[in-house]
């Protein structure tokens, strides 16, 4: 799983929804998660949120962050439409992850 491969723990991935109160996440983690959530749910980024992002990330990285959320949205829509088979390796690696709905 890509999250694990870059060092995210199962605990971290499992508690992203409640990052604000979780000591596993630092200020920047929470900012990134809040941005991903707001962009996905509302697709409206307030001046305050943008200012916080712009204070933390250089412009080039801001574009990358935006595209990471956008790429997820695109791939998610592809899967919703075509019900693309899960790769065997992915299925094997997430089978024991409690936060992951795959296989349920």
Partner 1 sequence: MDHHLPGNSRVRRPRVTEKFASFAKKEGRRVLQYYDGAFRYRIVDAFRDNHRTASENPHMSRIPLIEPEEAPPEVRAVYDKFQASGFRIFNVMKMFGNNHRFLEAMYSLTEGVYTHAKLSPRYRELAYLRASQLNSCHY
Rank residues 46 and 76 by Cβ distance to partner 1 and give the closer one.
Answer: 76
Nearer to partner 1, 23 or 58 (CB): 58
Interface with partner 1 includes 39 (CB under 8 A)? yes
Tell me the CA distances in angstroms from 18 to 8, 58, 64, 68, one per residue in order.
16, 26, 24, 20
Other Cβ atoms within 10 Å of 91 Cβ, number: 13
Q: How far is the CB of 101 from partner 1 (least distance, A)?
A: 5
Q: How far apart are CA 33 and CA 18, in angstroms?
A: 10
Residue showing tokens 């592809």: 78
52 part of the interface to partner 1, by CB under 8 A: no
- Residue from 21, 27, 44, 89 touching partner 1 (CB under 8 A): that is 89
Residue with tokens 């508690």: 15
Three-state SS for 88?
A: helix
Binding site residues, partner 1, CB under 8 A: 2-3, 6-8, 13, 16-17, 28-29, 32-33, 35-37, 39-41, 57-58, 60-61, 64-65, 67-69, 71-87, 89-90, 101-102
């Amino acid at each position: 799983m890509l999250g694990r491969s870059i060092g995210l723990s199962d605990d971290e991935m499992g508690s992203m929804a409640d990052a604000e109160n979780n000591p596993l996440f630092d200020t920047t983690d929470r900012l990134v998660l809040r941005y991903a959530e707001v962009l996905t749910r509302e697709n409206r980024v307030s001046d305050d949120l943008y200012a916080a992002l712009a204070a933390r990330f250089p412009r080039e990285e801001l574009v990358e962050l935006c595209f990471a959320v956008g790429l997820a949205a695109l791939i998610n829509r592809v899967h919703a439409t075509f019900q693309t088979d899960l790769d065997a390796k992915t299925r094997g690696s997430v089978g024991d992850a409690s936060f992951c709905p795959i296989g349920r």
